Amino acid sequence: MVISVMFRPHSDRPRFRHALLSVLLTLLLLEGLGCTTLEPENTEPARDKEQPTSDDAGTRRFEQFLDFAFSKVLAARDFHCLLLRTEMVGDSLKPQEEIDFSERFTPHSLRLEWVGERYKGREMTYVAGANDDKILVRPEGMVGLIGKTLRFNIDSPIVRMYGRYPPNVAGYDTLLKKIVDIYGRAHKLGLVWVKTSPPAEESGRKLQRFDVTLESALLDVDVSRMVLWFDLGTLLPVHTVFYDAAGRMVEDYTWGDIKLNVGLTDDDFVFKDQR
């Protein structure tokens, strides 16, 4: 509109000046009467907080690290680590647990042995398709000492007492798949922002931190933020923290002393006294 008015023929200019003066007088009159003029509707959603910003170089680096880690784990047969786990189950944040964690990717198999002070002696095993596809638990305390084994269906509510995710979907590989899936969808829609921090030493390892913020409401996911630390020696994530849409920390996992392709067999997915 502005461009077309500026280049009208000379014969139209007196008429244009008259119209412009009329508009200006009308606006002045409305202002004097305390009226307001209509503004174009803001199509952007209202935000309670400042829009996040992204570090372009850090974003590329994060994508390279994530792609490498995902490919490396996807090509592996099995995985072992010492897991420090803090999770929200229901509305309660559980205290940290220390777990000797073994996983075989195909068939999906898990063995967890609680080795810290909390729940010390508890064991859990799951092998897809074995034991009628049930989860086996050897409780801590006297029940475990007498060799009592509890058997649960995957969808049993009791299984949630033992972790945020049931063993048939839990694992290091499924965690990476979750990160790749959420980040991929958010990146495609322009609803993710990545920031990096300078590498830092921790327990003799050099770690690179990535802080990933998501527009969770528009993505229809219950994750608003992911903080990941990658070991610069292995390029694998060794510490992952997730926050839900309300900003609550719901998952905090430290994956210590990671080993891939350790040669796990069926004999590794039974209770300790059965080996």
Long-range (24+ apart) CB contacts under 8 A made by 15-18 are none
Long-range (24+ apart) CB contacts under 8 A made by 55-60 are 55/194, 55/195, 55/196, 57/196, 58/194, 58/195, 58/196, 58/210, 59/194
pLDDT of residue 140: 86
Is the pLDDT at 213 greater than 60? The verdict is yes
Q: State the angle between helix axes of 56-74 and 172-189 in degrees (0 to 180), rounded to the nearest 10.
A: 140
Q: How open is the CA angle 59-60-66, to the nearest 5 degrees? A: 90
The answer to whether the Cα torsion of 269, 241, 176, 202 is positive or negative is negative
- pLDDT tens, position by position, 15-41: 434 443 444 434 333 344 344 333 333
The C-alpha atoms of residue 221 and residue 182 are separated, in whole angstroms, by 8
Indicate the average pLDDT of the chain: 82
Q: What's the pLDDT band for 221 if we cut at 50, 70, 90? A: confident
User: Which segment, 6-10, 11-15, 219-223, 234-238, is predicted with the most confidence on average?
Assistant: 234-238
pLDDT of residue 80: 98
Tokens of 59: 């974003």
Which domains occur in the chain, in start order? 56-274 (2.50.20.10)
- pLDDT tens, position by position, 87-139: 998 888 999 999 999 999 999 999 999 999 999 999 999 999 999 999 999 98
pLDDT of residue 28: 39
Q: Which neighbouring-strand residues pair with 226? A: 212, 242
